[in-house]
Amino acid sequence: MVDERNFTQYLSRHEIDATIQQVAERINRDYAGEQLVLVGVLKGAFVFMADLARHLTVDFDVEFVRLSSYGKARESSGTVTILKDISADIRGKHVLIVEEIIDSGRTLKFLFERLRSSGPKSVEIVTLLDKESKRVVDVPVKYVGRKIDDQFLIGYGLDLEEKCRNLPDIYYLKYPN
């Protein structure tokens, strides 16, 4: 499935796991004794969400949202709409948004503000990967697995036109165009 001429391994499954363990330890410490709601951002975050959840020792509920801003293109469009909303009442609860990668930040900014307006106790963000140099809007990201350069990545939930999400490791595209 992975054409080695076009893709180079960027993070192995072991590096990904070590990164998640470090992030999970911080979350476990910060939310000890608290009730948490994890809000996973579909589709890309489903793999990270599953692995992160299994490293958490705090109590949590699981929710998912699906937002459209990317479509099939590789650039964020700037207009965000909700395709699937959370089903739980988050009033008075600690919310942690779970994202696999942040690029422009537009998707997250929209979601962050929207969840915040529903009266939770707190809203924070955890992302596995952060393309910090691509940020166009300011969004407070509390937990970052790894800061990365501007590269188009696939695998571990990240897709190339809906394919490759199942790859256990993360690859980058050598020839993006």
**Residues 62-81 contacting ligand IMP, CB under 6 A:** 69-70, 76
What's the rounded Cα separation, in Å, for the pair 113 and 108? 8
Task: Decide: 130 and 146 in contact? Cβ < 8 Å.
Answer: yes
Q: Does 152 bind ligand IMP (CB under 6 A)?
A: yes
Longest dimension (CA), the chain: 51
- Judged by beta carbon, residue 19 or residue 107, the one nearer ligand IMP is 107
Answer with the entry of ligand IMP, Mg ion, none that 106 interacts with (C-beta below 5 to 8 A by kind).
ligand IMP
**Sequence letter at residue 106:** R
CA angle 142, 150, 98 (to 5 degrees): 30
Question: If 0-12 CB within 10 Å is exposed, 13-18 middle and 19+ buried, where does residue 125 land?
Answer: buried
| Only segment of 37-45, 60-68, 71-79, 140-148 that touches Mg ion (CB under 5 A) | 37-45
Task: Decide: 46 and 40 in contact? Cβ < 8 Å.
Answer: yes
What's the rounded Cα separation, in Å, for the pair 5 and 8? 8
- Least CB distance from residue 107 to ligand IMP, whole Å? 3
Q: Does 40 bind ligand IMP (CB under 6 A)?
A: no
- Judged by beta carbon, residue 7 or residue 70, the one nearer ligand IMP is 70
Q: Does 44 bind Mg ion (CB under 5 A)?
A: yes
Report the Cα 168 to chain-centroid distance in Å. 16
Which residues are known to be catalytic?
103
Task: Decide: 174 and 3 in contact? Cβ < 8 Å.
Answer: no
Answer with the entry of Mg ion, ligand IMP, none that 70 interacts with (C-beta below 5 to 8 A by kind).
ligand IMP
Q: Does 41 bind Mg ion (CB under 5 A)?
A: yes
Q: Does 19 bind ligand IMP (CB under 6 A)?
A: no
Q: Does 145 bind Mg ion (CB under 5 A)?
A: no
Among 40, 44, 120, 155, binds ligand IMP (CB under 6 A): 44
Sites of contact with Mg ion (CB under 5 A)? 41, 44
